[in-house]
Amino acid sequence: MIYQRSSALFKAAQNVIPGGVNSPVRAFKAVGGDPIFVKQAKGAYLYDEDGNKLIDYINSWGPMILGHAHESVVNAVVEKAKKGTSFGMPTEIETQIAELAVSMVPNIDKIRFVNSGTEACMSAVRLARGYTGKDKIIKFAGCYHGHSDSFLIQAGSGAVTFGSPNSPGVTKGTAQDTLLAKYNDLANVESIITSNTNEIACIIIEPVAGNMGCIPPVKGFLEGLRALCDTHNILLIFDEVMTGFRLAKGGAQELLGVNADIVTFGKVIGGGLPVGAFAAREEIMNHLAPLGPVYQAGTLSGNPLAMAAGLAMLTELNDNPEIFKSIANKTEYLHKGIADVLNKYNVVHTINRLGSMISVHFAEESVVDFDTAAIGNNDTFKKFFHGLLNNGIYIAPSAFETWFITEALTYDDLDTTIAAVEKVASTINL
Ligand SMILES: *Cc1c(COP(=O)(O)O)cnc(C)c1O
């Protein structure tokens, strides 16, 4: 495939946008080459600026669970836009989407809308600190909760009590309040809690990790966290920005049967417009301004276009709950097809999957946390990525990302993808 125009556009972008992109993951730094510029998309397909058609497994990193330019979502936005794009005053649609979200998700009474997953997680942690009167938080190595300061903390040589920032600009003071734990390691969490008695406000976790590839929680892990939180008066925050309205109507809480105290959302909840949200039971949410002392605000929060897209998306999912099973089945089919091909060509690999989240790791060991996710052979991934791209399949340009399966993908698309994997596995020495 030819990417001449994309490369020219990337060159122009680099002159005026740092690295040519408005979010680093879009650059192809991890895999080499120039990013592809999209012209338009419909259903399961992307059409780029060079006229290539690609089967899309990123889907805006999750939001387009029904495929691109879904009619009801697009119509809702277009109709809303004609009536004004922002007021900074309350609108009825905010209550409508809030009522729907609260009815779909277990264990929440009230929800506050923001503009991104980052904002949702940042605000959820502030709320947890305000509610508990404690400062420290526990997060897990390899879990991503957006780019606010508290979350950009590195797993430095087991120094869990004095984490060091992994981005310049994050202060040591901030880093010290974030304690790093190992995913799927309950004993590790327990020891961190024991050495910080009465100091921990919350544990924030991706209930199914999706930002180090897909890593499901091992049996008993989330239940164990729930019990630890109850014992030690710590709030459990499920970051469901990726899993919310994807794994089930009620997200991971529903699918896995574990209740969180605060839940954060993003991605699917906005139907492709910038929306995030955080939610909890009434007693916690009432600590937020203007009812309570914990401040949180936003000029464009609850924006009518964003709410229209989100409401249309959630309505589709609420009215057609069989979608969740359908995309999980498609994901299972893809898993089996890819595994058969990679086995046939003796490519060392591990595939993780839960619901409609799946990731292919080029490692033999099972991938259960950040350390084991990092073992995968990145050179193999690069060849795999570019090989698929040359065959019209677009997966995330990083070995640490989940593939997002959408309802728009047909079994023909999946077969085309599996055939492309076979082509790559047979012609490139993976
Ligand atoms: C994408 C993501 C975020 C950040 O959301 P943005 O809208 O990119 O700010 C937070 N948490 C998880 C689990 C995510 O996948």
pLDDT (tens digit per residue) in 213-241: 999 999 999 999 999 999 999 999 999 99
In one-letter notation, the amino acid at residue 224 is G
Residues comprising the chain, all counted: 430
CA-to-CA distance for 23 and 20, rounded, in angstroms?
A: 9
For residue 47, give the DSSP letter.
E
What pLDDT is attached to residue 154? 56
* Residue 182 near residue 141 (C-beta atoms within 8 A): yes
Q: pLDDT band for position 152 (50/70/90)? A: confident
Which sequence positions are flagged as catalytic?
A: 144, 239, 267
CB of 139 closer than 6 A to ligand 1? no
Task: Give the model confidence (pLDDT) of 189-205 as tens digits.
Answer: 999 999 999 999 999 99
- Closest by Cα among 416, 424, 347 to 390: 424
Q: pLDDT band for position 162 (50/70/90)? A: very low
Q: pLDDT band for position 166 (50/70/90)? A: confident
Ligand 1 atom with minimal separation from the 211 CA: 15
**What distance in angstroms lies between residue 331's CA and the mean position of ligand 1's atoms?**
22
CB of 116 closer than 6 A to ligand 1? yes
**What distance in angstroms lies between residue 239's CA and the mean position of ligand 1's atoms?**
8
Instruction: For 429, list phi and psi in degrees, rounded to 5.
Output: -75, 90
Ligand 1 atom with minimal separation from the 243 CA: 13
* Strand partners of residue 187: none
Look up residue 119 and give its two tokens.
């904002």
* Cβ partners under 8 Å of residue 242, min gap 6: 62, 206, 208, 210, 211, 266, 267, 357, 402
For ligand 1, atom 15, which residue shows the shortest CA distance?
Answer: 242
Stated pTM of the model: 0.96
pLDDT over 50 at 293, yes or no: yes
Q: pLDDT band for position 107 (50/70/90)? A: very high
CB of 144 closer than 6 A to ligand 1? yes
Range 81-113 burial, b when 16+ CB lie within 10 A, else e: eeeeeeeeeebebbebbbebbeebbbbbebbbb
CA-to-CA distance for 407 and 394, rounded, in angstroms?
A: 16
Mean pLDDT of 114-127: 98
